[in-house]
Amino acid sequence: MSGAGGGEQSLFFLILPDLSKLCCVTLSLQSDDEEVRNKQVKTCRDLLLLYADIVASPVLGCFSEITMVMAVSSLCVVFGQMGSPQRVLPGILQTCLSYSLTSRLAPNWNKVGQFLIAGSMFPLPVMELSANESQLCVSVEANTVRLPPIRLEDFDIPPTVLRNFHSQPDAVIQTFSMSSNWCYILPSMKRGQIVSISHRMPAKSPFQCYADIQNHWSSLYGYRLPQIDEEEVIYCNVYFKLVGERLFTYPLSCIRTEPVQRCPRVDLQGALSSFLSHLRESLQTVCGFPARMTSKPCYHTTSLLSIASAQVPGLTSVRFSLSSSFMEQRPLGTGRKCSNSPKK
C-alpha cells in the first residue's frame, strides 16, 4: 500500500505447511436471541484464542458459519456442528490466516479501516493476504497516521445547546442542532450519521452500561476502550443507510469526524521492528507446523536483476500483502498535527 507519507515496502517470505496435511471444516452455529453476526465473530475469536493450532475466519456472506483450517491429525477435536473435512485451497488458507493474524495481534495492533495501528488508547489493525501452494509473501509498509479523538464542538453545535447538555444529565442533542452529523465508526471506519447524543444509554440498546460496551468491544475486536466513569460517558446513536432504520449506540471515543490520515514521519524503523517482532511471534507455527518467516527483508526494484540475485521461489506468483500503519504509544490525538492532512 502506498501513498502520501508512506514508507518503503519491505517483503518477507513464509514457507507454508504441505496443504495435503491440512483440512478445512465448516462450523455451523445455532441461532438464538443474540445477534447472529456478533455471535459469529465472537465465537471465531474465542476459537482462535483457545486453540493455537487452528486458523479460522467467519464465512463471508453467511452469518452462521465459520471456516477452520487445521492439521488432519487434529480432526479428533469436536467443535460442535462441524461439517465433513474438505481439501484446503490456497485462497481458503489465505483468508483464515489473515483473519487469525488480525485477531492474535490484538491488542498490540488493532484494526482501523485498512490500517494496523499501535497506540496506548486504541491498539488497532489491517491485512490483505494472498498465498500460493507453498509460501506466503508479506509486504509491510510503515506509516504515521493521524486519528485524533473528537469533541462535541467538532459538530458545530451552538454554544447554548452545549452548555445545556453539559449542565443537564438528561439533556439530549438532536441532529438538527448539528451543522454536520456525519461520522466514521471504529474499527471499520464505516460512515454513518449521528441521530442524537446523550449522557444516558438508550432504553432500546442491548447494553446496560459502558462496562458492557467495553466487554463487547474486547470480545469482538480485542479493543481496550478507555476507562471512563459512567457519569462521564457520552453516547451517540448512529444511523447507517445500508442497515435500515435500526440505530447503533457508540461511546464518543469510538467516533471520528474524518477518515484516517497518513502523514510523514522520519523515524519509522522502531515501529517497524516492533510490528515485525509481534508478527514473527504469531507466525512461528501454522496449524501446528513450523513456519518461520525470513529474517531479512527484500525490496521492490525497477532495475533488472541477475539470475543469481533473484532466487526467491514463487515470487512472481505470490500477491499477499500485509499493510500496517504505526502510531506513537500515547493517546490518540496528542501527536503533532499534519499540516498537509486533507480536510473532508
For the stretch 202-250, pLDDT in tens is 888 889 999 999 999 998 888 889 999 999 999 999 999 887 788 999 9
Cα 281 to Cα 3, 143, 186, 275, 286, distances in angstroms: 28, 22, 26, 10, 11
pLDDT, one tens digit per residue, over 31-56 is 665 577 788 999 999 999 999 999 99
Please give the distance of CA 49 from its chain centroid, rounded to a whole number. 16
- Best CA proximity match to 225, nearest among 236, 216, 238: 216
pLDDT band for position 124 (50/70/90)?
A: very low
What is the predicted pLDDT for the residue at 70? 93
Mean pLDDT value of segment 197-205: 92
Contact 312, 103 (CB under 8 A): no
Contact 318, 298 (CB under 8 A): no
27-36, 122-131, 142-151, 248-257: the lowest-pLDDT one:
122-131
Is residue 306 pLDDT above 60, yes or no?
Answer: no
Length, in residues, of the chain? 344
Is residue 321 pLDDT above 60, yes or no?
Answer: no
Location of C-alpha cell 483468508: 95
Is residue 313 pLDDT above 90, yes or no?
Answer: no
Contact 136, 319 (CB under 8 A): no
Is residue 140 pLDDT above 80, yes or no?
Answer: no
5-9, 116-120, 215-219, 222-226: the lowest-pLDDT one:
5-9
List the Cα angle 270/274/279 in 5-degree steps: 145
Mean pLDDT value of segment 76-90: 75
Is residue 338 pLDDT above 50, yes or no?
Answer: no
The C-alpha cell of 252 is what?
Answer: 464518543
Pairwise CA distance, residues 96 & 44, whole Å = 10
Return the amino acid letter for 73: S
Q: How many Cα atoms within 13 Å fall on the side-chain side of residue 103?
A: 25
Q: Report the mean per-residue pLDDT for the chain.
A: 78
Is residue 193 pLDDT above 70, yes or no?
Answer: yes
Burial class (CB in 10 A: 0-12, 13-18, 19+), 275: buried
The C-alpha cell of 149 is what?
Answer: 479523538
* Domain-wise residue ranges, the chain: 10-146+263-317, 152-256
pLDDT band for position 298 (50/70/90)?
A: confident
Location of C-alpha cell 449506540: 249
Burial class (CB in 10 A: 0-12, 13-18, 19+), 67: buried
